[in-house]
Amino acid sequence: MTASPGNRRLVRGFLAGMLAVAALVLPAAPASAIEIEGSGLTIAATPSATTNYLFRGISQTRQRPALQGTLDVQHDDTGLYIGAFVSNVSFLGTNATAEIDALFGYRREILGISFDLGAVYYAYPGSDTHGLAVLDYWEGVLKASKEIGDFKLMGTVALSPNAFGRSGTGIYVEGGVDIKLPFDFVGNLRIGHWDLQKNLRFGTPDYTWGSVGVTRELYEGITLNVTWSSTDISKRQCAPNAGPQGNLRPGGQHICGSTFLATLSRAF
């Protein structure tokens, strides 16, 4: 079967992104955060390229590749941190092309459990939804994790007073486990549920999603993750289109179904 010109462009774009990440990270020393002497600050950065940007099981790029970056600055004595995440995005009915998240919070280990209490501001600069909705929103997040032998257990609870698209109160809960496997592989399992107040505005019903994947370091801190992900949202109920009275209504987009994705990253 011959690939279509559109698919060939996507493949070339993704391969170019992979090469850009590789060019950035290959000359570097083994992955490690940078400690600024005398300041108590630790800086970590992670560039990555992925075949599909999924957020809580839903594609933010309409099944297209994404180039991403994460920056984290933490004060080790206090546990306070600030950070940022950037990625390209694509939402039908808007001209949003980028997501820029601001993160800040507090990390501490108590009784062998690592806690992360913080907030995230999700911003989509320059987005235009033709007056129907504002995409930007805040979210408070509590994360906890604990390592037990070859297992790392983790959980997340997030609350937004007015979630994506001004869809009202959003409550998100997620659990997961990472498992050390033979030959330096790590298995990943995640299950999450998002409860949303105004489903028509968000564009989906309340939903549950899950993923299973495997991660392995390939070379000098360069890590490959391959994941299968799916939601319980039907095609008919998936994703917002412009509707009457300033609402968003389900439009049958192909962004909520089962999918495989691969991500190449390098933590500094």
Q: pLDDT by residue (tens digit) across 125-155? A: 987 655 556 899 999 999 999 999 999 999 9
Q: What percentage of residues in the chain have a pLDDT greater than 70?
A: 81
Tallying the residues shown for the chain, one arrives at 268
Question: Which has the closest alpha carbon to 230: 260, 206, 197, 195?
Answer: 260
The domain of 17 spans 5-266
Based on the structure, what is the number of domains in the chain?
1
Asked if the model's pLDDT at residue 111 lies above 50, the reply is: yes
pLDDT digits (tens, 9 = 90+) for 178-227: 999 999 999 999 999 999 999 988 989 999 999 999 999 999 889 999 99
CA distance 106 to 113: 14
Rank 20-24, 26-30, 32-36, 60-64 by mean pLDDT and report only the highest. 60-64
Mean pLDDT of the chain: 86
- CATH code of the domain containing 104: 2.40.160.40
Sign of the Cα torsion 174, 180, 181, 186 reads positive
User: Does pLDDT of 22 surpass 80?
Assistant: no
| pTM confidence score | 0.84
For residue 268, give both structure tokens: 């500094």
Dihedral, 215, 220, 222, 223 alpha carbons, nearest 10 = 0
- Per-residue burial over 211-246, b if 16 or more Cβ lie within 10 Å, else e, is bebebebeeebbbebebebebebeeebbbbebbeee
What is the reported pLDDT for 29?
Answer: 37
Single-letter residue type at 100: I
Q: What is residue 47's predicted lDDT score, i.e. its pLDDT?
A: 97
Distances, alpha carbon 204 to alpha carbons 44, 72, 88, 137, 246, in Å: 35, 32, 22, 17, 16
pLDDT at 6: 43
Question: Alpha-carbon Rg of the chain, whole angstroms?
Answer: 19
